[in-house]
Amino acid sequence: MSTPARLLVVEDEPDIRDVLVAYLRRDGHHVEHTGDGSHAWDLFEASRPDLVVLDVLLPGLDGFELLRRIRRHGGTPVIMVTARDEDVDKIVGLRMGADDYVVKPFNPAEVAARVAVVLRRARPADRSRHLTFGALTVDLDATRVTVRGAEVPLTATEYRLLTCLVENPGRTLSRAQLRTAALPDSAALDRVVDAHLTNLRRKLADAGATGLIDTVRGFGYRLVDTDRSRR
């Protein structure tokens, strides 16, 4: 089985989407999903998944436009899915930077296997993944947070909230974006996100990272490098 990852499945046919999501979750992955291209872009910006399974024909933004936007933001692996068995579509997708291409009808087990292969290529076993922001380090492989080398014990929700903020340095994220990233299967209200962030702030402050999470009134939250602001 592949290493669990955060996946985004964008497919407008509910039956196909549900089966594919079930197969990917069976492999241990955390999977967000939608059938709308515009909503898919919002989800991508909020959670920055490790891989996207992307249909071409979508309401809102189509798959090619989504792929173009994803590529402007980096090298997130993308597997294109389409009902069109036409070489020109495959060539366009691959030239735009798609990592693989699957044509409907497909075997969901095959797609899950391709996801595992693409993830292995994108995340070699000998390369650890760390995010840093000032004195803060997030070890994505070990699911571990440290401040100046000292570990900060966090709940799963607190860890996901912090990771989302660190993956978007200097950017203000709304409560809705943070809720989608940290509590994707929950009907939690915005005040629940506020409560988790209050606890996260306290734990970071206890570790010596006071004022790291800044409230932007009327908008949401962002990270502030307090060490740099004192220089």
**pLDDT score of 39 more than 60:** yes
* 66 or 72, higher pLDDT: 66
Pick the CATH number of 6-122 from 3.40.50.2300, 3.10.129.10, 3.40.50.1370, 3.30.9.10: 3.40.50.2300
How far is Cα 112 from Cα 142, in angstroms, rounded to an integer? Answer: 24
- Helix (H) or strand (E) run with residue 160 in it: helix 156-166
**Residue range 89-107: average pLDDT?**
77
**Residue range 3-7: average pLDDT?**
82
**Residue range 130-136: average pLDDT?**
85
Strands (E), 83-163: 100-103, 130-133, 136-139, 144-147, 150-151
**pLDDT score of 95 more than 80:** no
**Residue range 218-223: average pLDDT?**
89
Residue that is written with structure tokens 């922001």 in the block: 133
Which of 45-49, 80-84, 126-130, 132-136 bottoms out in mean pLDDT, i.e. has the lowest?
126-130
* 191 or 58, higher pLDDT: 58
Predicted confidence at residue 24, as pLDDT, reads: 94
Nearest residue to 96 (alpha-carbon basis) of 88, 104, 106, 107? 88
Measured from the Cβ of residue 61, the count of other Cβ atoms closer than 10 Å reads 18
Domain boundaries, the chain: 6-122, 130-229
- Given CATH 3.40.109.10, say whether it is the number of domain 130-229: no
